Amino acid sequence: MRQPFPIPIMPSTLTLDITGFDYEARGVARHDGKTHFVSGALPGERVTARVLESKKRYATAEAIDILIPAPERVPPACPHYAACGGCALQHAGDAAQHRLKETVWLEQLARIGGVRPQTVLPAISGANWHYRARTRLAWDGEHLGYRARAGNTVVPITHCPTLAPALSARLPDIRALCAALARSTAILGVDLSAGDGVNVLRIRLREAVDARPAQEAIAAWHQEDGQPWQIRLQHDAGTVAIPPDAPPLAYQLPDYGLTLPYTPDDFTQANKALNRRLVSFALATLGAEAGARVMDFFCGLGNFSLPLARSDADVLGIEGVDEMVARATANAAAHGLADRCRFARADLFTVTTKQLHRWGRADYWLLDPPRAGAQTLCTVLDPKHGPARIAYVSCNPGTLARDAAILSGKGYRIASGRLLHMFAQTAHVESLLLFTR
């Protein structure tokens, strides 16, 4: 009888020398001709790694023992770090995080886009801890927390050192409130926001419930916290706000005398302090003079549009979400900027050259796209009638590099670029580039 071929067994652990670093904050090693991406490892380290998944050309793994640590390695500050998927770089010191992210950013620009900034400006840094003003948590019927680093389970957390202190301090109380509400209906999700004047807890429910547990929680919290809280119980039939007369959720741009209201569903930067600096640096980078016409693409609530208008530019903001366009328009009117700043809705992922011509020419563009980037917009740009200067705010170096290659092919160069350390302890890379024609 013919014997079957033996089935090779993939080794569960390997000893790897880490020689690189990737955009997901993983160490990179080569073993048996295959690239291994190792979470929890830093360049220069030798580690024992558990293989999680093996493909033909690459494998993913996690470091389970650091045999030779890098000098930059530090003990993680959060006891949940080993399991929680919220952070990826707590094992690296602050200076190392900055250096590694800048290396990844420049490598992506060169490898994918074939470009490099003519000048790499000093990075903009902010707080490394307690900077997050909003977050989304998961609930599994018993635990409140973030999704696990590997898998979809919920890692229960009692505090989070990247969250604003007022939000982190309430996590045990929020868990208790969720447990009380879950006796009546399913909890679909939990959102936290720290505005400039109110903290908002939104609990998304399958059905309406008795609001008394939330009312009791608010009464207790207001006896202890300096900034008021509001709890929003949201379900298909609507939202119950407790108390209903709490201050609106909003953030301020004090350098421009602006206050921008928003809702938990609106996109706003999680790092409010660094966002204020980003706005000022972006406007200075763009360099639009008084009276210049500026187009602000992916404008959201007017985070850049309204400061530009306050600086005497003539601004057209383009956004793809109707509700955001309505709120941005209301923000302009509330600040007396409606004559200098108007907004329009358009799907910028399907925009055409004809639409661009219909909006008219502007010598200055500002782009702040989501992680998917602005490929279509860059593709349909007519360089003969395009802007002289483009300030591009990016949260994804891969799509930024792709778009930079498109712009480079149309005669634009990256005059300058700089990182913004907006999301310390995570793999996210935020940057600001200036393209000139």
pLDDT in tens, 120-152: 999 999 999 999 999 999 999 999 999 998 788
pLDDT in tens, 396-429: 999 999 999 999 999 999 999 999 999 999 999 9
Taking all residues of the chain, what is their mean pLDDT, rounded to a whole number?
94
The answer to whether domain 134-242 has CATH 2.40.10.120 is no
pLDDT of residue 8: 47
Cα–Cα distance for residue pair 286/49, rounded to 1 Å: 46
Q: Which residues are annotated as a binding site for S-adenosyl-L-methionine?
A: 269, 298, 319, 368
Average pLDDT of the segment spanning 247-266: 95
CA-closest candidate to residue 103, choices 401, 419, 321: 419
Place 385 in a pLDDT band, splitting at 50, 70 and 90.
confident
The answer to whether domain 102-127+271-436 has CATH 3.40.50.150 is yes
Average pLDDT of the segment spanning 99-111: 96
Average pLDDT of the segment spanning 347-352: 96
CATH number among 2.40.50.140, 3.30.450.20, 3.50.50.60, 1.10.10.10, domain 1-73: 2.40.50.140
Cα–Cα distance for residue pair 229/193, rounded to 1 Å: 10
| Domain residue extents for the chain | 1-73, 102-127+271-436, 134-242
Percent of the chain residues topping a pLDDT of 90: 92
CB 295 within 8 A of CB 359: yes
For residue 9, pLDDT beyond 50 = no
Q: Which residue numbers are catalytic?
A: 395
pLDDT of residue 225: 67
pLDDT in tens, 10-52: 558 999 999 999 999 999 999 999 999 999 999 999 999 999 9
pLDDT in tens, 283-318: 999 999 999 999 999 999 999 999 999 999 999 999
pLDDT of residue 237: 83
pLDDT of residue 11: 58
For residue 327, pLDDT beyond 90 = yes
pLDDT in tens, 41-72: 999 999 999 999 999 899 999 999 999 999 99
Same fold across 102-127+271-436 and 134-242? no
Range in 37-41, 142-146, 196-200, 381-385 with the lowest mean pLDDT: 381-385
